[in-house]
Structure 1
Amino acid sequence: MTLRIGTRASALAMAQAGTIADLLGGELVPILSEGDTSTASLSTLGGRGVFANALREALLAREVDVLVHSYKDLPTTPVEGLAIAAVPERADARDALCARDGLTLETLPEGARVGTGSPRRRAQLAARRPDLELVDLRGNVDTRLGRVGSADPERALDAVMLAAAGLGRLGRLDAVTEYLDLEAWPTAPAQAALAVETRAGDERLAAAIDHRPTRLAADAERGVLALLGAGCAAPIGAHAFVEDELLFLTAVVYRPDGTAQLSSSHAAALDDDGTDAAASVARNVTDELLQQGAADLAPLGD
């Protein structure tokens, strides 16, 4: 029987699901989600689960066998009857600036118009360059890139901020004028990681492509979101990695206007499967952020 792989219908989602289809075999089944059909801002849509609900309904209804998600778009609360069967090796987790005329974040002129639909990126941009005009942005990657240097003065942007992984999956890395370093510019929890979801009990369908270091890092980053009670649209950046059998995690909570931020970094030794380490380091980071006043700095609840 052919493995049916459910995915969002956008070009980026189809491209990343295609990489999983190459690994597992099977055919892609595109499914429209609210996030694909709505033109509202991601922050007003609520972020949490907006891209996942329709796909999960199809999986539970046995219309597909597995799902491929951008892990950063998944709610942190587990869904009864479903399981994350695999988190394949992560792509480039950095943000990338795509600007006209080869400009970088430092060389953009005062008052330049920069587009992003992410509250976290807005806060980071405002903190680094408070003189910029930040423009809320939705649409697929080509639509966003098409606004850079547009001849239409109402649509024209000097730059957009996008995920390097998405640009790479679509073959558009030629548009990048600057990559932002993860240590100074942490990205969304689990950015660039994919999650392959199955019905509980069917994990064997994808378990062979699970990448332990990626899963541990992504789960630690997402653990901060869960413990803070925050959704994927909250102004939070996180960066975790495995090195020398230690799991390192840094998370930053931003005031939405970029005028303040709080950060915490911790490490934990890996146990047999790493699950306890991911939970422990996320708890230590979250506790420190809350002690510093993170709950008063940014809107963290749903």
Structure 2
Amino acid sequence: MSSFPIRRRIPEHAPNRRPGRRIRALLGALALAVTALGAAGVAGAQPARADGTSGLPTCPFWTNVTPPTRTDTPWVPPLQTAQPVNFAANRLPAPGGVTGTLTGNQVTITFNRVPGAQAYRVWRNGQSVAWVTDWGQPALTAVDTAPCQNAYYSFEAMSDQSGSDASLGQMSAPYVLNTDGAVVPWQTPVGSTITMMVTSYNDGGSTASGYNAQLGVCAVDPRVIPWGTYFTVPGYGTCYAADIGTWIQNDTVDVWLPGTQANGWGVQHRSVTIIANPFSGSTAAAPAR
């Protein structure tokens, strides 16, 4: 097992169940504004029919834990290269038709029904916003009662309400709460690079998004690298952003490695590169917001 602090499970908000979210304490600190990514893009901007976000607080990290200061350690190369994980295969598609509006102190989001889905998850910066049960209602709606500036939303359909990896559909590409108060699609420009502290973990089970921990699934600060983003890490391979951790704040990424390989990785600094979803065929970066 890794010599770093072990993650523990904390409850999720969901009707009649408490799916596990693992909290990892594995490395990260240094401040990084989202602007360090370079201009990020919004596709298909919608007419501003909402309250602007200037009066909202900046999105905080989800815990007030302060990570310790860490320095780079000797590096043992992993025994394998992480290939892109294909979450599009044999899973329900992500909900489409997403629209959202900030009115007053809440964001109301609607989205289309996915055939075969019994429920849906909605996340803001890796934090659960809503668990929506599909009972045939005319419209599927989620409400974020604590919106903030630089909020990224992710959506998953579920084939049942167990919350297990097997029940989860594809995670949507990220959406952002735009400055005009509308929720719109988001694409961090492909090719953007960021110097990050890269740490490692090896514990199994469910990640915060519900997908199983595995090679190629990485923990991020979703305010910096939104969930649903693919990126490459030199010496590791390809990451899919779908987990969080207590020490994974700002400019830190946590990569999954099996067994003692996590110890061999230690603490490194790497320039990570945003790439297009290898399984979507969409590569165009959208205009800056």
TM range (shorter): under 0.3
Larger Rg: 1
What TM-score, normalized to structure 2? 0.28
Between Structure 1 and Structure 2, the one with more strand by share is: 2
Between Structure 1 and Structure 2, the one with more helix by share is: 1
